[in-house]
Structure 1
């Protein structure tokens, strides 16, 4: 390798060890940042959820609470099953797809201005992995309450800073599953105790090739 030619066994071995050590240090830093970061898209817990993770086992990579906010994990599957606002159709999907892996993805963030993290849960179908439901739970006096739901599949949501962003695929008559007519992205803000639509953006898929975007509202 250029720059190491003629270095000799001992020197080459020392250089290799230095490179390995540096690489390990960089990898550790990267893992720490990934685990502890609470950036623009929230802190993702698991997805699809593993049974032990859903049960609330706290891993060493769990983010630490900040001085003014609290981090709390939840049993996502149990929370959904006990929630009367969750439809029977979605509840039927709350079973392991394989092994003990549930079709559930959990993200934590601060959407509603509370002192404890809010919980965003996306539920998918085991067959085609399309989003069939998305829910936001807010901690109120130690109990998590459902403050948002969308079950018009396919649907998925994410946390973008303090915004809730919901993406929906829209199908017209005779559209196939792989060819929706448009995609709608809606951004919600928390105002006066509830989520309010702030703006939306529609992308129309052309049946003859090429997409067109509608102006934001």
Structure 2
């Protein structure tokens, strides 16, 4: 009987330990002012990139072909088919700008450009207008993706992709790496039906 009584006393005590869901004794509530949660700025961090008018940049660029300029029209209202990225590619004092011009219907890249800030303006330092093309910034490198197609295949059915990596060197982009990926030719999710005997 004494053992049962002791167990009966221990059970309520263990259910209120700090690992359970009972009450815990954390000490008195804090009454002083709560410290500021505003993060302090890191003086070595790069400033936020300044947004540019990418459409105007492309249309006023003499290095951009007339075909791309002619195709660069709003898809809906005043929404143009351009993707814009900001980052450090050329070691300039402020962010470089990567602009991809796409088609409205199927978003195929028809031109990729890199603009480097120089003296309050932007200079075109890279151009690729061989569609389909798309440029991105990857850890300080310029990465260009090009869909590959077999003869007679549709725009929605690429046979592979070529990925070219460029790095800024001696005031220009130099190719560093080229990778080709071939896509599987199997029909996704389709299987042959069994023959009926």
Matched-pair contact (CA < 8 Å) for 1:134–1:150: yes
Structure 1 outlier segments of 4+, above 4 Å: 64-70
Distance of 1:169 and 1:182 partners within structure 2: 6
* 1:138 equivalent in alignment to 2:112: no
* 1:162 equivalent in alignment to 2:140: yes
Matched-pair contact (CA < 8 Å) for 1:68–1:115: no
Give TM-score, length-normalised by structure 2: 0.68
Higher helix share: 1
Q: Which residue number in structure 2 is paired with residue 129 of structure 1?
A: 107
Give TM-score, length-normalised by structure 1: 0.62
Q: How many residues align?
A: 147
- Decide which of 150, 158, 180 is 2:128's aligned counterpart: 150
Bigger Cα Rg: 2
Q: Which runs of 5+ in 2 are unaligned?
A: 1-40, 189-197
Task: Tell me: higher relative CO, structure 1 or 2? Use CA pairs within 8 A at least 6 residues apart.
Answer: 1
Q: Which residue number in structure 2 is paired with residue 199 of structure 1?
A: 177
Distance of 1:98 and 1:199 partners within structure 2: 38
RMSD of the TM alignment (CA)?
Answer: 2.1
Shift in Å at residue 84 of structure 1?
Answer: 1.3
Q: Which runs of 5+ in 1 are unaligned?
A: 1-63, 211-217
Q: Which residue number in structure 2 is paired with residue 92 of structure 1?
A: 70
Q: Which residue number in structure 2 is paired with residue 5 of structure 1?
A: none
Q: Which residue number in structure 2 is paired with residue 178 of structure 1?
A: 156
- Decide which of 72, 81, 84 is 1:106's aligned counterpart: 84
